[in-house]
Amino acid sequence: MSDVHSAISPKPDVYFQLIKGLAYFLLLIVTEVAAVNVLAIYYAFRMTKNPPSGTETNFAQISADALEVALANVNARLIIYAFILIIVLFLFFALRKKNFREETRFKKFSVKYLPAMALLTFGFYFLVTAILNLLPDSFMESYSESSNFIIEGSFVFSMIAQGLVAPLTEELIFRGLMLSRFDRALPKWIGILISSLLFGIAHGDSIWFAYAAVLGCIFCVVAELTESIFSTYLMHCAFNGIGTILAYYYPDIDRFEMNLFLLISIPMIAAGIFLLHRTHKAAKIIKE
């Protein structure tokens, strides 16, 4: 009887890997909070040092104002958050004498996957853009407000924060550390689902959640097939980079362009899936 029970009960290591995966998500939240506080302290120091003339220093008000400015300055927070997170991860794996690249799966992959990756990235971006432009204004109001940070400050600064830094931290956590731990505890599709849902939740707004979760699934599948998050980092950089460029230089899309995006997106995604499958199948044959 005990043998039957042990056969159907999850092993302790399963629970441990699940907890580790969720702990990395908690680390993401903690470092984001830390980044907000670091930035708020910086702004509070500036406000205290240079208060408006003729006013008394009110530390409670300064703290509240500094926190408000820090919360609004998303791109600066992203860079501070990434710095804190990467330092913490490097120290954590160094103390445990673990290889950072191996633990996070940030390693080389076959360039033969690049055409499939490009088709999936651009195809999904065109599809999302077309769908967002079809949604009624009532749906888009909160999304537009939550997306204002994309054009915050200079174009170069936004490209660094959105196009390079944000993809790095998110790939390290969601597809690198979290998904790899779930793989050790769960069937792959369940790990992909949990990681993608958490990726969507991390983006907040309901519209952000919807397409970030789907995008997370695509990234998870590519990470699993290429056995690397360097592949998904490049895809993530391209996706965010396109969005930042268009937000700055081409914010308005007319009906013809919207229909064109919708028309070309489906074949691109289908071709990307086909190429991804064929490339992976060929890679498996070579390995065998």
223, 236 in Cβ contact below 8 A? no
CA distance 277 to 155: 37
Confidence of residue 57 (pLDDT cuts 50, 70, 90): low
CA distance 76 to 282: 43
Nearest to 180 by CA among 232, 113, 132: 232
Residue with the two structure tokens 């629970």:
15
Dihedral angle computed from the Cα positions of residues 147, 216, 263 and 279, in that order, rounded to the nearest 10 degrees: 140
Q: Is the confidence at residue 11, as pLDDT, over 60?
A: no
Q: Among 50-59, 125-134, 202-211, which stretch is predicted with the lowest mean pLDDT?
A: 50-59
pLDDT exceeding 90 applies to what percent of the chain? Answer: 60
CA distance 44 to 53: 16
C-alpha distances in angstroms, 32 versus 39, 51, 60, 85, 143? Answer: 11, 28, 23, 9, 21
Please report, for the chain, the start and end positions of each structural domain, with discontinuous segments joined by +: 2-287
85, 34 in Cβ contact below 8 A? no
Taking the complete model, does pTM exceed 0.85, yes or no?
A: yes
Within a 13 Å sphere around the CA of 77, how many CA atoms are in the beta-carbon half? Answer: 24
Within a 13 Å sphere around the CA of 155, how many CA atoms are in the beta-carbon half? Answer: 10
CA distance 272 to 280: 12
79, 161 in Cβ contact below 8 A? yes
Report pLDDT digits (tens) over 145-184.
Answer: 667 767 777 899 999 999 999 999 999 999 999 999 998 8
C-alpha distances in angstroms, 52 versus 49, 57, 157? Answer: 10, 9, 28
Confidence of residue 6 (pLDDT cuts 50, 70, 90): very low
Which pLDDT score is estimated for 109? 94
Nearest to 162 by CA among 251, 231, 79, 249: 79
Report pLDDT digits (tens) over 14-42.
Answer: 888 889 999 999 999 999 999 999 999 99
